[in-house]
Amino acid sequence: MKLSGELKAFAKRLGHDFARPELLTRALTHPSFATGTRPDNQRLEFLGDRVLGLAMAEALLRSDKQAAEGKLAPRFNALVRKETCAAVARDLDLGGVLRLGRSEMLSGGRRKEALLGDAMEAVIAAVYLDAGFDAAQKVILAAWGDRIDNVDEDARDPKTALQEWAQARGLTPPDYVEIGREGPDHAPQFTIEARLESGECTRAKANSKRAAEQDAARRLLRRLDG
């Protein structure tokens, strides 16, 4: 089986030359496009999640030989969470080569965070099955890049951190209010306002409510810390 021009370009961006190109094709096949003879990427996603976890755990241990488990765990979670996988997928333009069914494509599937994150994990598994752990680890470290060195900035969940800030000052937990929604149904943009009982508030916009809430909390924390 030979890769199309688009998939060859993606493999080059990824930094891996597939001896078994069918693995990459499967990794990029969403269930909405799969058939009995065209398997989807869900089993690869399951495996890729574990390969990514091991690669990141090793990377963190190497980068900080003194850190205790309590510091390593939030860094690890920040690096392997779905949002980070999706961000890496966007850097590689993975969405442009995803194989989607028509309905999923029309609903903006190429931009959906969950689909991108799942496919990124599946691609990692494809590299692992094609050439082993060392090859997969090399791809992961290159694709994640500076995120590994700068992970402390993202290690704490902003909503949790904001809630802890409020509780430490005797305030009720922050509220997250949807201020607006724009765009077509297949690609909505949500505006969320994070509000504290003391009156401080900030707004953020994203293509999911959860992402907008996290960004609003992050912005409010920066304002409070400033």
What is the C-alpha separation between 99 and 26, in angstroms, rounded?
9
What is the C-alpha separation between 216 and 203, in angstroms, rounded?
5
Asked if 213 is an active-site residue, the reply is no
Amino acid (1-letter code) at residue 45 = E
Asked if 121 is an active-site residue, the reply is yes
14 φ/ψ angles, rounded to the nearest 5 degrees: -70, -30
| Catalytic annotation, pick one of 49, 113, 130, 154 | 49
| Paired residues of 192 in beta bridges | 178, 204
Nearest to 13 by CA among 112, 92, 101: 92
| Buried/exposed 156-165: b ≥16 CB within 10 Å, e otherwise | bbbbeebbeb
Nearest to 145 by CA among 98, 189, 79, 192: 79
| Catalytic annotation, pick one of 121, 130, 154, 215 | 121
Tokens coding 225 = 């810390």
Which DSSP state fits 172? Answer: P
Point out the residues that are catalytic: 49, 121
